[in-house]
Chains A and B, each alone.
Chain A
Amino acid sequence: MIEVSNLVKQYGDHYAVDHLSFTVNEGEVLGFLGPNGAGKSTTMNIITGYISATEGTVTINGHDILDEPEEAKKCLGYLPELPPVYPDMTVKEYLFFVAEIKGVKREDRFDDVMNAMESTKITNYQNRLIRHLSKGYRQRTGIAGAMIGNPQIIILDEPTVGLDPSQIIEVRDLIKSLAKDHTIILSSHIMQEISAVCDRVLIINKGKMIVNDSIKDLSRRMSGSNRLELKVKGSAAQAKELILGIGDVESVDVVGEEDGIVEMHVYSKDTDVREQVFDACAGAHLPIYAMNLIEMTLEEIFIKLVQNMEKEKGEEEK
């Protein structure tokens, strides 16, 4: 369906996208994760033909986006980071305009527009000027625009940004219903969103791919990683050494020290180390002031992954 191979986008010496390759199969929902500036939007802009890659190719349904742009773009619906809406149009006018430039046949336009408005629940706002709409409704108008023409592939760049919690749930449901007969790529930095709707997740950082995994594998990875927030009375060096001495502990970060109380983050894999930490602290007469087990969020997993990536890189250089 979508084949991205060896994609590079270079701005001067800076690589926005660095040799990225992946494929999206028909009917699949792919989640695109990464921090700001990771290259998510750039990659999406290249796939949709808005900007050109320095190297590499993008093939959509067998059509190269550069060689046969018209054919390739006909299969696509795209919602960029900022919904590309014209403030001086009404919602209805805008959607009819989108239908027209996408080459929807005259007799199908009305149904298409009505359908898109209904799915995104903006039918009641159809005669409002987009200028007067809130961010959330502009976003919905943008999503409706991406649905027009019933393209096989829908690409959504952070579709839930700027929406309130109930709208977020609605949009997620909408994406789920679209997923039944569309191939979807969506980007986000919110884990629940990805795990709620996606089959597969792609994590990128600094233009490089870190993870390309199914959701199941990733959530296993997630539950396997735990973080312990720990407050101990004593000196930082002593406490760190002591905790690191526990076999299952992977790493310890000292995050603060105040009035002789050290605050640390203890990372472990798979095992719950609370009892071992208690025993160790009791043995060394370091009173525990607080201990709290926290499951790692995506951001933290992500930061860990990035740190690991950079550590490996540093070791390679040595």
Chain B
Amino acid sequence: MIAIYKKELRSYFTSMIGFVFVALFLVVVGIYFTSYNLVGGYANFDYVLQSIGLLFIILIPTVTMRMIAEETKSKTDQLLYTSPLTIEKIVLGKYLAVYTLFLIVVAVICFYPLILGQFGNVDYPLAYANIFGFALMGAAYMAIGMFISSTTENQVIAAVLSFLVFLITYLMSYIVQVVPSDNLSAWIIFSVLNLLISVVLYTSLKNINVALIFAGAMEVILTALYLLKPSFFDGSVVKFLNWFSLFERYKAFGLGIIDFASVIYYLSLVFLFWFLTVQTIKKRRWN
């Protein structure tokens, strides 16, 4: 695992990707920092990190897109997967390397509140709670990016897909405002979702029976719930969709709150997507 970590980290800095990523990120943060804090005269560093969302979701895929896809394409994965290392460790090593890149950015950002402190009173706990949340959110997004990179061998597709997925999670708080909230539409939305999951299940398992049984059973449960206990669906779509809103959780850190649930939420996303990446790689060997 350490071997993979070292190799990945070295390749980020011999291929310039690492420098470009860190530099671009710092430029983006720097621009907001200058305009809000230095020129604007605000002492709140949290404004900066809360505002760079859109640029953040563009920057992350630039490093995560190559993580697995590049090795698949150039067949160097043959060396890794035929070595005594387990796929779990290989993926973990790769993930830690890309996250180290992000931590370099975070480490530099940590100085900004101190710079502000030279000019006036800065709410340090608030600023650092923000940076902490920012680091956690980055961890979650990088795990998702890595997972998407493992599903394709084309880096461009991986980047575009990642960006789309990130964009949806970014816009989720707006999407939530327009979804209907009555119980019938909730039932319809969940039924459509059930259908989608079943299709995915069928395409990945190639077993029509399992997919049909799953779809049928879920539909029966949904319908029974709708008929017998419609209150179950109250606000469920919003709740469900909010679960995918990574930025919404981050806003709590913007208020200076280190919400334990959000910390767990981000960490479990990291774990989930690490797990899914491992499974995707393992599954590819069976095709």
Contact = CB atoms under 8 A, between A and B. Distances in A.
Given A49-B82, A70-B86, 14 more contacts: A50-B78, A51-B286, A73-B82, A73-B84, A80-B78, A81-B75, A86-B11, A86-B76, A88-B11, A88-B14, A89-B7, A97-B3, A98-B83, A100-B6
A216 B118 CA distance: 86
Given A50-B285, A97-B7, A84 B75 contact: yes
**Residue with the highest number of chain A CB atoms closer than 10 Å, among B2, B74, B82:** B82
A135 interface: no
A74 B6 CA distance: 21
A48 B82 CA distance: 6
A307 B70 CA distance: 41
A103 interface: yes
Going nearest first, the 3 A-B pairs with the smallest beta carbon separation are A100-B3, A84-B79, A48-B82
8 contacts: A52-B285, A73-B83, A78-B78, A78-B82, A89-B10, A101-B3, A101-B84, A102-B83
Contacts of B4: 101
Question: Is chain B's interface secondary structure helix, strand, loop, or mixed overall?
Answer: helix
A78 B286 CA distance: 20
A101 B81 CA distance: 10
A273 B183 CA distance: 90
Interface string A182-212: 0000000000000000000000000000000
B84 A70 contact: yes
Chain B, interface size category, equals 20 to 34
Nearest to A73: B84
Contacts of B14: 88-89
B280 to A, nearest CB: 14
Interface in A61-106: 69-70, 73-74, 76, 78, 80-82, 84-86, 88-89, 93, 97-98, 100-103
Interface in A125-152: 145
B180 to A, nearest CB: 42
Interface in A143-188: 145
Contact of A82 (B2, B3, B7, B75): B75
Contacts of A100: 2-3, 6
Contacts of A86: 7, 11, 76
A51 B285 contact: yes
Contact of A80 (B2, B7, B15, B75): B75
Contacts of A101: 3-4, 79-80, 83-85
Contacts of B15: 88
Interface string A38-51: 00000001001111
Contacts of B78: 45, 50, 78, 80, 82, 84
Nearest to B82: A48
Contacts of B11: 86, 88-89
Given A101-B3, A101-B4, A76 B285 contact: no
A97 B5 CA distance: 11
Contacts of A102: 83-84
Contact of B76 (A11, A52, A85): A85
Contacts of A82: 75, 78
A162 B23 CA distance: 41
Nearest to B76: A84
Contacts of A145: 79
